[in-house]
Amino acid sequence: MLFQPAIIALLLAAGLAVVMLAGVAPFAIQVIRHWDINSGSERQLALERRTYLFSTLLTFVLVAQLAALLLFVFNADRLSVMFVGAMCAVGTLNVNGWGFPSLITQMAVFFLAAMWLAINHVDTLARDYPLVRIKYALLLLLLPVLASSFWLELQYFLGLKANVITSCCGSMFSEEAKTIAAEASGLEPEPALWLFYAGMVAAIATPLWHWRLGSRISGFLTALTSGAGFVAAITGVLSFISLYIYEHPHHHCPFCILKPEYDYQGYWLYIPLFIATAAGLGAGAMQPFARSPSLASIVPRVSSRLAGLAVGGYILFTALATWFVLSSNLILIEH
Amino acid sequence: MNPWLEKQRHLIDFTLASLGRRKTKNIGLLLAYTLLVFVLASLTLFTHALRSEASFVLAGSPEVILQRMVAGRHDLIPPNYIEKIGRIRGVQKKEGRLWGYYYDTVLNANYTFMARSADEVADGYIMVGNALARERGLAAHNTISFRSYSGKLFTFEVSAVLSPDSELLSADLVLLSENDFRRFFEYPAGHFTDIALSVANPQEVRNIAAKLSSALPDSRPILREEVLRTYQSVFDWREGIVLTVLAGAILAFAILAWEKASGLSAEEKREIGILKAIGWETGDVIRMKTWEGLLISLSAFLLGFIAAYVHVFHFDAAVFEPVLKGWSVLYPRFTLVPTVDGLQIATLFFFTVFPYTAAVLVPIWRAAITDPDAVMRA
Amino acid sequence: MIELSNIKKAFNQGQPNEYWALHGIDLALEAGKVTAFRGPSGSGKTTLLTIVGCLSRPTSGRVRFKGEDISGLPERFLTDIRRQSFGFVFQQFNLIKGLSALENVILPAFPTGRPRHELVTAAEGIFDQLKLGHRSTAKVEWLSGGEQQRVAIARALINDPEVIIADEPTANLDTALSKEFMSILEGFTATGKTVLLTSHDPLVVDSTAVHRVVGMRDGRLTED
């Protein structure tokens, strides 16, 4: 393992999140077993108060996860100098097989936590807390995801070994430089362009529809198109948006756009994208409960507000991406 | 304005007033917090500055250095060795270099002597590094004598003192002409210390190094990128070690924060009880307390970071210098170029604000669930 | 306006020191009237007020407020109702030390997110009614007992509640101040507010300002 501050910080954060969530898991089980909203007993009161702890904790995990995700990528980019053949974060993440799985799990934790918080939010607006049991069962399901995210991250960092000069022998040329496997997405720019804009139109139109209507089907579709929109957006970044930002026809990296050399343009793209996707997924996550009598009026109201957020985020993302493409000096598609 | 924002403003107002009312309690915590940030920030700022100093210096050095090995030890480059390399595609320039160490009994320090071409340094003249000039009280046109390893005394005139820009590497440097170098060290004619190769395309470096090792099996090519990598990991490693040593301090601080947050005074408990009775919700109290934590964290972070910045860049990191700099006796007294880096700040945040927040989370919740009817029962 | 049926309240349930403060209370309280609960200490009158005022939930039984059953509501919603509909004047006043009178008065409105200038205007209006205008910036610990109580009353009024609940309001006041308090009470009924108070002070219970007296003993209502 590399003994490096950012790595220690990331492991500390992930480990602490797991420990905290695992620490409160027994209480979640108590809530599931003994919850009785109609009881005036002191135990019920204590359980109710415990729910505040869970939502505070999950909010904390969500915020920490977002920060950790940024730090993870940021640090991977910085570490690339340590590995033969690695030019940026992609290379570092490819040093061993755990890098990308770890990154993807961390994103999953972020989106799952956002969905849980969305469900939690509608539940606390209903006077009878109809989703308490479901919510805490979901929370218990989130725990293994969080734990595996930590485990993957640990495996990844444990497997990192820098190619440094040792005192006996300076040459390591017997070892071939690793290929950067994710010099990603050999997609041609033109079909990629179509795919990207089709994805974005869907990801904007569906939540817009849901925002106006608030119906259940449109809510489910919002989650679906948000998920698909996220994939389309990342594919778009990989296949052509990054090329335009770098003004280089073969540089496909989704991480270098976060660097100061490119004016941090990546943050402008990713932050609206992540927020929009989290909002869209959250809007969908609450739809299965829209028929519950006390939530009937709450779910459409909250989910259409989230859909509005998703629309805004995707519009911002698409507009910025388009602007970066148009203002670039690179020409990929001849007219 | 949006009621949500307005509400947060009210909560911040209340928090500020309540922090003001409990100055002594909060100042202790703030001091400990600031001290922790200060120590950690000094550490990261300093190592980062050293790291960028090193890469700045290395930027000007050749891409590949070729050393000859005899019995696993670094040996002189014999005559005609350079010719044996022959032409390798991609190599722009190759030249033999002459350098060595000289132990000065006056300062009990090692100097690096390096030969330069005659048009840079004329025979009888030397250029010296800044630290050396300072310690020996040298300025341009002064003369200085060194007793060579063979016992003979050589006198040189200082033609210039090297610029202090990158003092970390040039501090102990003495530049002299090739003739003077060979005479001073009685260096065998035609021999060199090592060979420097310039390579234009960075992608080619590894191929060229591979060709060199196969053409000259008794040689060892050292790549600039590898040196850089080694520097990086050495600095990272040292920073990591110090951080681990400081982990105890972080833990102690987290315990202090936990203790402060859970050991509410009777007065504070009463206040929270009153707030809940008059219509504050548990969530409102949690939010208010979160603002309190954020305000404390941000002020401690800002104060500690600024103090660390001043400490590192204006007082040359007086506290950490011995731990983190090299082993050389002749410490370069260089002014570090102030560099602040996002990754460092983010990491620092994780080491300070994250443990703090984690430590106070449960105590905050515990305080917030006070019975609303407690004030009526008392 | 408020209907209680078979309200029971236990403390330390399931433990050896279990204690039932209320043994099945049935009561209806009218809007716009002043009702006083009278009884010795430990009779359960304060506990009953906390249940009526949404500060706590009954262990069993039903509470209906304006026709809605609120007995099973989680704390979060009880707090909403309490903030909107009930104002409290506590026996010990329970003001927050170190804050000015004005700051204390606007505290209950913080969670509503009303803009500050609006709150300050409202608070100043109430201060003028209670003849406290000149003391609004003074810290509460510098105020006299009577002034402190008027600040506490002002705080109870800031969210314009329909019901004012006062627990032993005259316990810490001399006769003159107690009479002044009763006249303030009459002002409330004039504006249509409902007042609920506990007291064993004859000056309060026998006052003409009180429309109805409910006697309590050992967690049960007594005939009056």
Domain containing residue B106: CATH number? 2.40.40.20
Is the pLDDT at A89 greater than 80, yes or no?
no
pLDDT for B374: 81
pLDDT for A175: 34
The verdict on B365 touching A (C-beta cutoff 8 Å) is: yes
Residues on chain B touching A71 (C-beta within 8 angstroms) = 343, 346-347, 350
Listed in order, strand segments (DSSP E) in B71-142 are 73-75, 91-97, 99-104, 109-116, 125-128
Q: Which residues pair with C89 in a beta bridge?
A: C166
Nearest-angstrom CA–CA distance, C63 and C52? 7
CATH number at C128 reads 3.40.50.300
Across the interface, do A12 and B354 touch by the CB < 8 Å criterion? Answer: yes
The verdict on A127 touching B (C-beta cutoff 8 Å) is: no
Across the interface, do B347 and A9 touch by the CB < 8 Å criterion? Answer: yes
The verdict on A46 touching C (C-beta cutoff 8 Å) is: no
Range 38-67 of A in CB contact (< 8 A) with B: 49, 52-53, 56-57, 60, 64, 67
**Which pLDDT tens digit goes with each residue over C143-163?**
988 899 999 999 999 999 999
Angstroms from A335 CA to nearest CA on chain B: 34
Residue appearing with tokens 């052509």: A240
Across the interface, do A2 and B233 touch by the CB < 8 Å criterion? Answer: yes
Nearest-angstrom CA–CA distance, B138 and B131? 10
Query: Do both B139 and B108 map to the same domain?
Result: yes
Query: Do both B152 and B178 map to the same domain?
Result: yes
Whether C180 is in a domain gets the answer: yes
Is the pLDDT at A178 greater than 70, yes or no?
no
Q: What angle do CA B272, B273, B279 make, to 5 degrees?
A: 90
Q: Which of B209, B228, B369 sits opposite A49 (nearest CB)?
A: B369
Mean local confidence (pLDDT), A81-105? 79
Whether C101 is in a domain gets the answer: yes
The verdict on B139 touching A (C-beta cutoff 8 Å) is: no
Token pair in block for residue C172: 């810490």
Q: Which of C13, C75, C77 sits opposite A41 (nearest CB)?
A: C13
Query: Do both B216 and B238 map to the same domain?
Result: no
Query: Which residues of C make CB contacts under 8 Å with B?
Result: 46, 49-50, 55-56, 75-76, 79-80, 82-83, 88, 90, 92, 94-99, 103, 107-108, 110-116, 155, 159, 167
Number of domains into which chain C is organized: 1
Question: Helix or strand or coil: residue A175?
Answer: coil
Least confident piece of the model among A140-149, B212-221, C133-142: B212-221
Across the interface, do A48 and C75 touch by the CB < 8 Å criterion? Answer: yes
Domain positions in chain A: 1-167, 171-335
Instruction: Supply the DSSP string of C65-95, one letter for each residue.
Output: ETTEE-TT--HHHHHHHHHHHEEEE-TT--P
Distance of CA C196 to the CA centre of its chain: 7
Angstroms from B360 CA to nearest CA on chain C: 23
The model's pTM: 0.82
Token pair in block for residue A5: 């501050």
Give the CA distances from residue C6 to residues B105, C51, C71, C73, in Å, rounded to whole numbers and listed in that order.
Answer: 100, 12, 12, 17
Query: Do both B38 and B121 map to the same domain?
Result: no
Whether C122 is in a domain gets the answer: yes
Across the interface, do B282 and A84 touch by the CB < 8 Å criterion? Answer: no
pLDDT for A167: 36
The verdict on B213 touching A (C-beta cutoff 8 Å) is: yes
Instruction: Supply the DSSP string of A228-261, one letter for each residue.
Output: HHHHHHHHHIIIIIHHHHHT-TT---SSGGGSGG
Q: Which of A4, A57, A74 sits opposite B346 (nearest CB)?
A: A74
Residues on chain C touching A37 (C-beta within 8 angstroms) = 72, 74
Mean local confidence (pLDDT), A315-332? 86
Whether C217 is in a domain gets the answer: yes
Number of domains into which chain B is organized: 2
Whether C1 is in a domain gets the answer: no
Whether C15 is in a domain gets the answer: no
What is the chain B residue with the closest CA to A10? B350
Cβ distance C38 to C205 under 8 Å?
yes
Nearest-angstrom CA–CA distance, A120 and A135? 7
φ and ψ at residue C8, rounded to 5 degrees = -125, 145
Q: Which of A6, A13, A78 sits opposite B354 (nearest CB)?
A: A13
Residue of A45, A121, A125 to mutate, interface with C, max C Cβ within 10 Å:
A45
Residue of C37, C46, C48, C55 to mutate, interface with B, max B Cβ within 10 Å:
C55
pLDDT for B334: 54
Q: If we measure between CA atoms, which residue out of C53, C68, C27, C49 comes closest to residue C161?
A: C53
Token pair in block for residue A261: 């050399």
Residue of B211, B350, B360, B370 to mutate, interface with A, max A Cβ within 10 Å:
B350
The verdict on A128 touching C (C-beta cutoff 8 Å) is: yes
**Which pLDDT tens digit goes with each residue over C8-49?**
998 888 888 888 999 989 999 989 899 999 988 888 888 999
Query: Do both B289 and B202 map to the same domain?
Result: no
Query: Do both B209 and B88 map to the same domain?
Result: yes
Among B191, B223, B255, the domain-final residue is: B223
Is the pLDDT at A41 greater than 90, yes or no?
no
Nearest-angstrom CA–CA distance, A65 and A68? 5
Q: Which of C97, C99, C115 sits opposite B6 (nearest CB)?
A: C115
Cβ distance A230 to A236 under 8 Å?
no
**B374 contact partners, CB below 8 Å, separation of at least 6:** B273, B276, B277
* Residue B248 lies in domain: 3-58+232-377
Query: Do both B98 and B45 map to the same domain?
Result: no
Token pair in block for residue B53: 């100093």
Query: Do both B169 and B247 map to the same domain?
Result: no
Instruction: Tell me what ipTM this predicted complex has.
Output: 0.92
CB atoms within 10 A of CB C20: 16
φ and ψ at residue B263, rounded to 5 degrees = -85, 65
pLDDT for B378: 61
Among B197, B223, B249, the domain-final residue is: B223
What is the chain B residue with the closest CA to C81? B279
Across the interface, do B206 and A9 touch by the CB < 8 Å criterion? Answer: no
Q: Which of A52, A82, A173 sits opposite B286 (nearest CB)?
A: A52
Token pair in block for residue B364: 């905050």
Query: What average pLDDT does the structure give for chain A?
Result: 83
Nearest-angstrom CA–CA distance, A320 and A313? 11
Query: Do both B54 and B71 map to the same domain?
Result: no
Measure CA of the first residue to CA of the last residue in chain A; give whole Å: 51
Q: Which residues pair with B161 in a beta bridge?
A: B128
Instruction: Supply the DSSP string of B177-239, one letter for each residue.
Output: EHHHHHHHHTPPTT-BSEEEEEES-GGGHHHHHHHHHHH-TTEEEEEHHHHHHHHHHHHHHHH
The number of C-beta contacts closer than 8 angstroms across B and C is 91
Residues on chain B touching A57 (C-beta within 8 angstroms) = 361
* Residue C164 lies in domain: 32-55+85-223
Residues recorded for chain A: 335
Radius of gyration of chain C (CA): 18
Instruction: Supply the DSSP string of A32-64, one letter for each residue.
Output: HHH--TT---HHHHHHHHHHHHHHHHHHHHHHH
CB atoms within 10 A of CB B101: 10
Whether C183 is in a domain gets the answer: yes
What is the full per-residue pLDDT of chain B (378 aa) written as tens digits? 688 899 999 999 999 988 888 888 888 889 999 999 998 898 888 888 877 777 777 777 788 888 888 887 888 888 888 887 777 777 788 888 888 888 888 877 888 888 888 788 888 899 888 878 888 888 888 888 888 888 888 899 998 888 766 556 677 788 899 889 999 999 888 888 888 888 877 777 777 888 888 888 888 888 887 777 777 777 777 777 777 777 888 888 888 888 888 878 888 888 999 999 998 999 999 999 999 999 999 999 999 999 999 988 888 777 776 665 554 444 445 556 777 777 888 888 888 888 898 888 889 998 898 888 888 776
pLDDT for A171: 37
The matching CATH number, chosen from 1.10.10, 1.10.3470, 1.20.120, 3.90.320, for A171-335 is: 1.20.120
Among B223, B252, B273, the domain-final residue is: B223
Residues on chain B touching C167 (C-beta within 8 angstroms) = 376
Is the pLDDT at A174 greater than 50, yes or no?
no
Question: Helix or strand or coil: residue A90?
Answer: helix
Across the interface, do B236 and A12 touch by the CB < 8 Å criterion? Answer: no
